Amino acid sequence: ILLENEMKKAIKLDQFTLEYQPKIDIKSGKLIGMEALVRWNHPELGKIPPGKFIPIAEETGLITVLGEVILRKGCEQTHRWQEEGYTDLVLSVNLSTKQLYQNDLIEKIKLILRETNLDSKWLELEVTETAFTNIDNAQSILQEIRDLGIQVSIDDFGAGYSSFSYLKNLPVNTLKIDASFIRDIDLNKESQAIVNGIVDIAEKLKLNVIAEGIETVEQLDQLKDAECPQGQGYYFSKPLTADTFHQFLKKEH
Ligand code: G
Ligand code: G
Ligand code: MN
Ligand code: NA
């Protein structure tokens, strides 16, 4: 079976769905938003993880249309939740590097926001550092995204070829600390020091920070000590279907 063909069919048949993972304000414990994560339950092959099909979508160029499907679904759902009174939630959507340099990206985003009636201030795009190999190109496209009123987050921050020049030159709002630093933060002095350092730099640069992959109360305690403002991970909640996330909202508010 060629996954590329299956993906084309699945897009036509609307078989891609989204899950939503809560993002939490660490001090208050309040919900601040959710990260959309794409899911594919293939009728014969079963659940195929995004780590498997996203790279193929990128190689084949299918990520362009799949990315639009994902963004539209996320914006539609967020607007629906807003209509039910959950008006202060930011939707984060992962953007692959290929999408960032797609030449009609800005037009497509504008169209989707208009069609789904979502105000751009409730949308955040998560971009990894691999998108920043050409910093001038990255700067101009990120600036266009910011000019639309959309927020930008550096995903997996610290895991790749992080360079401080990104922080100096790129118009980003948030650093999302890579889960590898959180995994051993309660045991490892180096991870503690790095997380503390990222939080301090972010504060001085007036950037937001979120820690991802929080699984235990010990990890959370370390992040409280570091005064990391926001967190995400299985400790709070795994990614939830739209229905289950709705239950979570009702409990929360
Ligand atoms: O959801 P999970 O942890 O299995 O995701 C695995 C990888 O797939 C992560 O790197 C995540 O960023 C990526 N991913 C999940 N959903 C999306 C999506 O909607 N778009 C893109 N481009 N990547 C995604
Ligand atoms: O690359 P990105 O950060 O977008 O990927 C997020 C991925 O991490 C998703 O596939 C999500 O399912 C997964 N994830 C979210 N929270 C946790 C967690 O606490 N522990 C682990 N191991 N994975 C997580
Ligand atoms: Mn992400
Ligand atoms: Na990440």
What is the tens place of the pLDDT at every residue in 174-202? 999 999 999 999 999 999 999 999 999 99
pLDDT given for residue 253 in this prediction: 67
Q: Specify the length of the chain in residues.
A: 253
Q: Which ligand is nearest to the CA of 126?
A: 3
User: Nearest C-alpha to atom 20 of ligand 1 is from which residue?
Assistant: 94
pLDDT, mean over the chain: 96
Decide whether any atom of ligand 2 lies within 6 Å of the 233 Cβ. Answer: yes
In 3D space, the residue among 103, 109, 111 whose CA is nearest the CA of residue 137 turns out to be 103
Q: Are the C-beta atoms of 11 and 66 separated by less than 8 Å?
A: yes
Compute the distance between CA of residue 144 and CA of residue 95 in angstroms, rounded to an integer.
Answer: 15
Q: Are the C-beta atoms of 153 and 135 separated by less than 8 Å?
A: no
**What are the residue ranges spanned by the domains of the chain?**
3-252
- For residue 76, how far is the Cα from the chain centroid? 16
Q: What is the DSSP string of 75-100?
A: HHHHHHHHHTT--S-EEEEE--HHHH
Give the confidence band of 133 by pLDDT, cuts at 50, 70, 90: confident
Compute the distance between CA of residue 79 and CA of residue 73 in angstroms, rounded to an integer.
Answer: 10
Compute the distance between CA of residue 110 and CA of residue 184 in angstroms, rounded to an integer.
Answer: 40
Spacing, Cα 252 to ligand 1 middle (Å)? 26
Compute the distance between CA of residue 119 and CA of residue 123 in angstroms, rounded to an integer.
Answer: 8
Q: Which structure tokens are listed for 38?
A: 């794409």
Compute the distance between CA of residue 114 and CA of residue 143 in angstroms, rounded to an integer.
Answer: 20
For the full predicted model, state whether its pTM sits above 0.95.
yes
Q: In the predicted model, is pLDDT for residue 134 greater than 90?
A: no
What is the tens place of the pLDDT at every residue in 60-97? 999 999 999 999 999 999 999 999 999 999 999 999 99
CATH of 3-252, one of 3.10.350.10, 3.20.20.450, 3.40.50.300, 3.40.50.620: 3.20.20.450
Q: Rounded to whole angstroms, what are the CA distances from 229 to 128, 140, 151?
A: 21, 29, 17
Ligand 1 atom with minimal separation from the 19 CA: 1
Decide whether any atom of ligand 1 lies within 6 Å of the 185 Cβ. Answer: no
Q: For the purposes of burial, counting CB atoms within 10 Å of the CB of 70, is it exposed (0-12), middle (13-18) or buried (19 or more)?
A: buried
Spacing, Cα 233 to ligand 2 middle (Å)? 7
Q: In the predicted model, is pLDDT for residue 1 greater than 80?
A: no
Spacing, Cα 239 to ligand 2 middle (Å)? 8
Q: Are the C-beta atoms of 38 and 72 separated by less than 8 Å?
A: no
Q: Are the C-beta atoms of 113 and 78 separated by less than 8 Å?
A: no
Compute the distance between CA of residue 167 and CA of residue 218 in angstroms, rounded to an integer.
Answer: 29
In 3D space, the residue among 125, 123, 73 whose CA is nearest the CA of residue 99 turns out to be 125
Compute the distance between CA of residue 15 and CA of residue 219 in angstroms, rounded to an integer.
Answer: 36
Q: In the predicted model, is pLDDT for residue 13 greater than 80?
A: yes
Q: Are the C-beta atoms of 18 and 68 separated by less than 8 Å?
A: no
Compute the distance between CA of residue 185 and CA of residue 197 in angstroms, rounded to an integer.
Answer: 13
Ligand 1 atom with minimal separation from the 18 CA: 19
